[in-house]
Chain A
Amino acid sequence: MAGSKEIRTKIKSVQNTRKITKAMEMVAASKMRRAQERMRAARPYGDKVRNIAAHMSQANPEYRHPFLVKRDQVKTAGVILITTDKGLCGGLNTNVLRLATNKLKELESAGAKIETTAIGNKGFGFLNRIGAKVVSHAIQIGDKPHLDKLIGPVKVQLDAYAEGRIDVVYLAYTRFINTMKQEPVIEQLLPLTADKFEQTEAEKKAYGWDYIYEPDAKSVVDELLVRYVEAIVYQAVTENMSSEQSARMVAMKSASDNAKKVIDDLQLTYNKARQAAITKELSEIVGGAAAV
C-alpha cells in the first residue's frame, strides 16, 4: 500500500482547511446581513442633507461655498481610498486598487501631485508600498464603522481643499450591487458636482419660500456641506463593508467547494490504491499456492 498514509494525512489536512473556510463563510454571511442593514440605515441622513443643501444653494445663489466651485487647473489632487482591513475576500481590494492605480497614473501624467487618504489597512499598506504621499489614514475600522473615526482623516482632505492646496478630491471604493456583484468605482467627491443639487420641478414648486437662518445662512451652509461630504464618505465605507462581507462569503464558499472536490479526488485515489494493494496481495497468495 504505497503512499496510503501520505494520502490519508493529506485528506485530513484538507478537511481541516475546509472546516475553517466553512466557518469563515458562515461568519461572513451573518456579518453581511448586519452590514447591509447599516448601509440602508445610513441612507436617509444623506438624502435629507442633500435635499436641504439643494434647497439652500437654490435659495442663496449669491453665496458659493468653495466645495461647489470648480477649479480650472488641477495642480494637486486628493484621493480617498477605501479598502478593507482584512484580506481573504476574493479580488475585492485588488480590483479597487487597480482602478485607483490607473487614476493615480492618469493624474500624474497630467502633471498633478497627489495626496492620498487611506481608509482600511489594505489600501494603507498598498499606498505606502508604491510610495504615494499618505496625508492621513484610518485603519482598524472594525465591523461597525463609526463616523467618529472618519472625521479627522477626511477633514485633512477637506481643509486642504478649502484652503486651495488641493484642487479636486476623488473617492475610490467598492460599490455594493448585490451579494454576487460588487463594483469598484472612483468618483469625484469635491468639488461637488452641480447635478447633485439639481431640483425637480415639483421640488422647486414646493420650495417657494426660504428658511429663517439662525445664526446666518453662510455658517449653516458651511456646516451642512461638511456633513454632506462626510455622509457620502460614511455611506461609501458602509457600502465597502457590505461588499467585503459578501465577497468574503462568496470567496469562502468557493474555497469550501474546492476543498470538497479535492477531498473527493484524494479519497478516490486512496481507495484505488487500497484496492490495488489488496488485489496484488491476493494474486501473490494465489500465485504462491499454485507454485506449491
Chain B
Amino acid sequence: MSTIHVDVVSAEESIFSGEAKFVALPGEAGELGIYPKHTPLITRIKPGAVRIQRADNDEEEFVFVAGGILEIQPDVVTVLADTAIRGHDLDEAKATEALKQAEEARANAKSDIDFAKATSEFAIMAAQIAAIRKLRGK
C-alpha cells in the first residue's frame, strides 16, 4: 500500500507531519480527496477541517485550518495554513486599520472592520461546527 507524505505548516509552527493513506480537505472549488500518486495540483483552500488518515495506525486525524494554499505532488501534500482567517476584505481592513492608526484618525473605518471581523468569526465558527458534526456523525 503506497502512502503519501503530508505536511501541514503555518507561518508560526509546523502543525502536522507524517505519512498518510488518504487526505481530504476543503478546496476553494470544492472538497478534495487525495490518494497517493495524485496529479500535481495547487489551489487555495477554505477554512475547514483537513482529514488525514494516518498510514501507521489507520486513525483519522483532524486538523483545523483557517484557509491557505494546498500543493499536491504525487508523493507529497503540503498545506500552507494561514494562522488566521484571511480574505481580501479582511486583509484590506487590516491595512486600512494600520493606516488609520498611523494617522490617528479612525472614526469612520470601524464599522467596515467590525463587519469583516464578524464575518470571519462566523466563518470560523461555521467551519468548526461542520467539523464537529462530521466527527460526531462517524
Known A42-B11, A52-B71; contact A137-B101, beta-carbon cutoff 8 A: yes
Q: Let me know if B29 is at the binding interface, CB within 8 A.
A: yes
Contact A44 B7 (CB under 8 A): yes
User: A26 CB to closest chain B CB, in angstroms?
Assistant: 26
Known A152-B97, A227-B80; contact A38-B12, beta-carbon cutoff 8 A: yes
Q: Let me know if A159 is at the binding interface, CB within 8 A.
A: yes
Contact A148 B84 (CB under 8 A): yes
User: A169 CB to closest chain B CB, in angstroms?
Assistant: 15
Q: Let me know if B14 is at the binding interface, CB within 8 A.
A: yes
Per-residue interface assignment for chain B, residues 66 to 94, with 1 indicating a CB less than 8 Å from any chain A CB and 0 otherwise: 00010110000010100110100001111
Number of B residues whose C-beta is below 8 Å from A?
A: 35
User: B41 CB to closest chain A CB, in angstroms?
Assistant: 4
Contact A223 B69 (CB under 8 A): yes
* Nearest chain A residue, comparing its CB with the CB of B13: A41
Q: Let me know if B98 is at the binding interface, CB within 8 A.
A: yes
Considering the chains assembled together, what is the distance between the CA atoms of A213 and B69 in angstroms? 11
Considering the chains assembled together, what is the distance between the CA atoms of A72 and B27 in angstroms? 40
Contact A152 B42 (CB under 8 A): no
Q: List the A side residues contacting B28 at CB < 8 Å.
A: 214-215
Considering the chains assembled together, what is the distance between the CA atoms of A213 and B72 in angstroms? 11
Q: Let me know if A224 is at the binding interface, CB within 8 A.
A: yes
Q: List the A side residues contacting B11 at CB < 8 Å.
A: 42, 45-46, 147, 227, 230-231, 234
- Please tell me the size bucket of the interface on A: 35 or more
User: Quick one: which of A48, A134, A155, A212 contacts B94, CB cutoff 8 A?
Assistant: A155
User: A206 CB to closest chain B CB, in angstroms?
Assistant: 9
Considering the chains assembled together, what is the distance between the CA atoms of A218 and B44 in angstroms? 12
Q: List the A side residues contacting B43 at CB < 8 Å.
A: 213-215, 220
Q: Let me know if A98 is at the binding interface, CB within 8 A.
A: no
Q: Could you say which of A52, A152, A219, A223 has the most chain B C-beta atoms within 10 Å of its C-beta?
A: A152
Q: Let me know if A153 is at the binding interface, CB within 8 A.
A: yes
Q: List the A side residues contacting B41 at CB < 8 Å.
A: 211-214
Contact B42 A44 (CB under 8 A): no
Contact A155 B95 (CB under 8 A): yes
Known A45-B9, A137-B102; contact A148-B69, beta-carbon cutoff 8 A: no
Considering the chains assembled together, what is the distance between the CA atoms of A52 and B43 in angstroms? 12
Q: Let me know if A62 is at the binding interface, CB within 8 A.
A: no
User: A95 CB to closest chain B CB, in angstroms?
Assistant: 26
Contact A151 B91 (CB under 8 A): yes
Q: Let me know if B118 is at the binding interface, CB within 8 A.
A: no
Q: List the A side residues contacting B33 at CB < 8 Å.
A: none
Known A147-B12, A227-B69, A230-B11; contact A155-B102, beta-carbon cutoff 8 A: no
Considering the chains assembled together, what is the distance between the CA atoms of A224 and B92 in angstroms? 17
Considering the chains assembled together, what is the distance between the CA atoms of A135 and B102 in angstroms? 6
Contact A48 B40 (CB under 8 A): no
User: Quick one: which of A42, A156, A230 contacts B98, CB cutoff 8 A?
Assistant: A156
**13 more A-B residue pairs beyond the given contacts A52-B42, A156-B95, A209-B40, with a C-beta to C-beta distance below 8 A:** A45-B80, A46-B11, A137-B102, A151-B91, A156-B99, A211-B71, A211-B72, A212-B40, A213-B42, A214-B29, A214-B44, A215-B28, A219-B44
Closest 5 CB pairs of A and B: A152-B94, A152-B98, A214-B43, A155-B95, A136-B98
A-B contact list, 21 entries, CB within 8 Å:
A38-B12, A38-B13, A41-B14, A45-B11, A45-B12, A48-B7, A52-B78, A137-B98, A138-B98, A146-B83, A148-B84, A155-B92, A155-B94, A211-B40, A211-B42, A212-B39, A212-B42, A219-B44, A220-B69, A227-B80, A234-B12
Interfacial residues, chain A to chain B (CB-CB below 8 A): 38, 41-42, 44-46, 48-49, 52, 56, 134-138, 146-148, 151-153, 155-156, 159, 209-215, 219-220, 223-224, 227, 230-231, 234
